[in-house]
Chain A
Amino acid sequence: GAGVSQTPSNKVTEKGKYVELRCDPISGHTALYWYRQSLGQGPEFLIYFQGTGAADDSGLPNDRFFAVRPEGSVSTLKIQRTERGDSAVYLCASSLVAGGTGELFFGEGSRLTVL
């Protein structure tokens, strides 16, 4: 498809387990973003990639969270030792370039439930 693709759409895991969430951005978009949306909240910024490098990871809550984008396209968000508080919808977005007028193209999200 032409949009941002995220897999899995739903992930249920147990506390303490490791989780990977994948994002395939729109072809040609150099900027990629991860946001997290908890229940009753708006999306919150986690990390931003320009090309292959993480240009800003200031939103990652702690060192259990890590993200990569090795070839400048697909990105993987990795969560170690998951906790119940990590339960949320993880949204990936991309844009042709960073900044500009702020229009981001979001995927449908990966809903993570930590039991």
Chain B
Amino acid sequence: DQQVKQNSPSLSVQEGRISILNCDYTNSMFDYFLWYKKYPAEGPTFLISISSIKDKNEDGRFTVFLNKSAKHLSLHIVPSQPGDSAVYFCAAPNSGGSNYKLTFGKGTLLTVNP
């Protein structure tokens, strides 16, 4: 029972263009969502989050959009840079008092080509 789904295992974009990474979820009780970025042989690092009461959060080149009716969120990276090449994980914390427990998607490998 996968509550957070990333259906695209990989994505390749050209430097300077937009990267759009998608995530779907099944649990409408999630309070917020997070994106983590992971380079090879490193641990995941927090990138950006969004509260379930918002539909957009922007931080520099990174913007996350939340569509609650569709139970879908997306991460936009504009413009994409080769250093953005990494695996991106969508995650959400359990609700009901256990919001320390993150559920992660399987991740999407982004490759930004120079």
Contact = CB atoms under 8 A, between A and B. Distances in A.
Interface string A45-86: 100100000011001000000000000000000000000000
B62 interface: no
A: interface residue count bin: 20 to 34
B98 A56 contact: yes
A102 B91 contact: yes
Contacts, number: 64
Q: Pick from B32, B91, B98 the residue with the most CB of A within 10 Å.
A: B98
Nearest to B98: A56
Nearest to A91: B43
A45 B60 CA distance: 30
Nearest to B97: A99
Contacts of B41: 108
B106 A102 contact: no
6 closest A-B pairs by beta carbon, nearest first, are A106-B43, A42-B104, A98-B100, A99-B99, A103-B46, A102-B93
